[in-house]
Amino acid sequence: MTPEFLLRVCYALIFFSVILGGAATFGTYYYNDIIAKKDKSEINDKLDDIPSKVLDNNNQNTDKIINVLDGMNDTLQEIAETDGSNIKTLTYPSKGEYGLNILDRNKKIYSPGTYSMRVEIPKGQSVTVKVKGDNWSYPLFQSIPGWRSFDYNLSEKSRKFKSIKPGIIDLEIHFTDASEIKIEVFENDSTKPNWEKEMTVK
């Protein structure tokens, strides 16, 4: 082989190397771009899906909260609008908004838990309840207005509650542990209890 021939072969190899290098460079750029676009598309799809899932969950939770609030609002509205004119006699129902009614004369055995102190008062009448004993409490903030607490007696661990309006009034009250609790009920500003009840919490 002559030097001229070998030189031409070298030129040919250099030419093909340039072509292959260019093709490799283009291929690397081109396919990297395709992969990047694909990854970006998948990420965008996932990101687009997140708000819809969050929105669905929020909508479900919001619907549940709205339903609960609507129910509470209806109850509170009914109680707030009752001025006692449609109530004929003082009534102590067996249940209240928070549970069994401790003013139910027939029930005397309770377990630790949350209860109601509910009474339905005709217009022009009033009720005062004295609660005496250990292991009971009540939230200072009440969602249903109607009772005013006063006359706390440390020695006998008692407190009085007086109705401040006619209609349906209720108090959230808690029995926290086993104990003996006594209630005295004074109707229409009576100076002596109209009736009493001793309760056992166990």
Q: What is the pTM of this model?
A: 0.61
Give CA–CA dist 166/45, Å, rounded: 61
Do residues 101 and 117 touch, judged by C-beta distance below 8 A? yes
Question: Looking up tokens 């009614």, which residue turns up?
Answer: 101
Q: What is the pLDDT along the chain (202 residues), one digit of tens a residue?
A: 555 544 455 555 555 454 555 555 555 555 556 555 555 555 555 545 555 554 455 556 666 666 655 655 655 555 555 678 889 999 999 999 999 999 999 999 999 999 999 999 999 999 999 999 999 999 999 988 899 999 999 999 999 999 999 999 999 999 999 999 999 999 999 999 999 999 999 9
Give CA–CA dist 83/105, Å, rounded: 24
Do residues 117 and 171 touch, judged by C-beta distance below 8 A? yes
For 179, the enclosing helix (H) or strand (E) is strand 179-187
Compute how many other C-beta atoms are within 10 angstroms of the C-beta atom of residue 138.
Answer: 18
